[in-house]
Structure 1
């Protein structure tokens, strides 16, 4: 009996039974599809250990225009997740984990093609110097918390001093939170990985405008970029040690004996 993953694959790509190929590593393409599907849903908690003294929390684009219901680019799920994100921010503050706020701003001379893809931005959303670019009031940064407010691209590293700030703080692991999951948050996670940071991607402290797009990002992160964890799991790892890592290592060791 064909699995749902195989059926979905064949439907999406309009592949018929006779079109299936036999990859060298597998008895058939159906086995290959099921193996890959399992990998997309397997958390690689053994990849690295979370050590609170090496971490920083990135709160990406949680701005008035995105989170406030009256904002010009309002994302309902971003507003809905604020209580969960606040708990993670508060835990980081309590433990001395730096909290950094990259905020997306657009002006005429740094607009790239944003005006073509996003009508609200063309109409003034997240315009540089406007109240809509401020961090959402319920998540207001403390006086000693860094705001990266010259972010003009999806990626929080592109054209900003974020990498310098993180390295100066001795950060080796970045915890990704914010909005939109599949744009600025995913872009930042990818670049962070390319810069040799360990990446933790919050499953329920990132938000976007499409549940399907959110899940697609989590699958990609899990497969090859990041440890995907809930806000509560992140808090527990910071406060009590990385039990998920330890359990994953023990399991792998048992399986390889």
Structure 2
């Protein structure tokens, strides 16, 4: 019989914990690359927040996870085809299309996968809806999923809720997420907080540092 823990902030277990980074790619993180918001300069709230808080906290999470040998999965918005014919209906209507040949569709160097870390492209807000991530996580034996990324009120929200519905113990790293405004970020955390344990980077990195290294 599987032991069901009673709290969402259950202690992470070596070999059963993964870090999921959501949509941390250059096209959204670097001013001037987002085709839907050419008016946003480097002084826009989102870019200031991601540059000064979100990205540095991702670097800390990556370093802590790599030090303990836990699984790291990067998910990005990227079509499988150059013309985007495989995209979800929602992405066609919006429209959102990042062709696989576009270098700006990949994570920046400081957040890019290294070694055999997994990179999963998706064409919907919910990574669990448009990819095989649930299958991959279960094959890896993952039960504890630490989630961070952008946007808090969109793709992160979907990842948290869907992971919880599929039976994972979910942590959302609050200061390693960002939305287009502080209000949207705070509102999203309040809305989906019942599906996960919310904790900041200091707390999560501290917990990871106390883990034994995964075999």
Q: Secondary structure at the match of 2:126?
A: coil
- Alignment-derived partner of residue 66 in structure 1: 28
Kindly indicate whether residue 66 of structure 2 is the aligned counterpart of residue 93 of structure 1. yes
Q: Which runs of 5+ in 2 are unaligned?
A: 1-5, 38-45
Identify which of 162, 172, 179 aligns with 1:191.
162
SS of 1:100 mapped into structure 2: strand
For 2:147 and 2:86, the matched residues in 1 are separated by 28
TM-score (norm 2): 0.81
With normalisation by structure 1, the TM-score equals 0.68
Counterpart in the other structure of 2:40: none
Which of 1 and 2 has greater Rg?
A: 1
1:38-77 residue CA offsets vs partner (Å, 9 max, x unmatched): xxxxxxx943412241210001100110112232167413
* Structure 2 residue 108 is matched with structure 1 residue 141: no
| Count of aligned positions | 190
Structure (1/2) with the larger helix percentage: 1
CA distance in 2, matches of 1:52, 1:82: 25
Match of 1:219 in 2: 190
Considering only aligned residues, what root-mean-square deviation do their CA atoms show, in Å?
2.0
The answer to whether structure 1 residue 167 and structure 2 residue 138 are counterparts is yes
Contact 2:91 2:123 in 1 (8 A): no
Deviation at 1:84, TM superposition (A): 1.2
Contact 1:100 1:145 in 2 (8 A): yes
Structure 1: 5+ residue stretches without partners: 1-44, 242-257
The superposition leaves residues 79-98 of structure 1 with CA deviations (integer Å, 9 ceiling, x where unpaired) of 33211110111000001111
Name 2:50's counterpart in structure 1: 78
Q: 1:59 and 1:184, CA in 2 relative to 1: closer, same or farther beyond 3 A?
A: same
Counterpart CA distance in 2 for 1:156 and 1:78 is: 21
Mapped contact 1:78–1:208 kept (Cα < 8 A): no
The 8 Å contact of residues 125 and 154 in structure 2, kept in 1 or not, is answered as yes
Contact 1:68 1:136 in 2 (8 A): no
CA distance in 1 between partners of 2:112 and 2:200 (Å): 22
Moved over 6 A (4+): none
**How far is the alpha carbon of 1:200 from its aligned partner?**
0.2
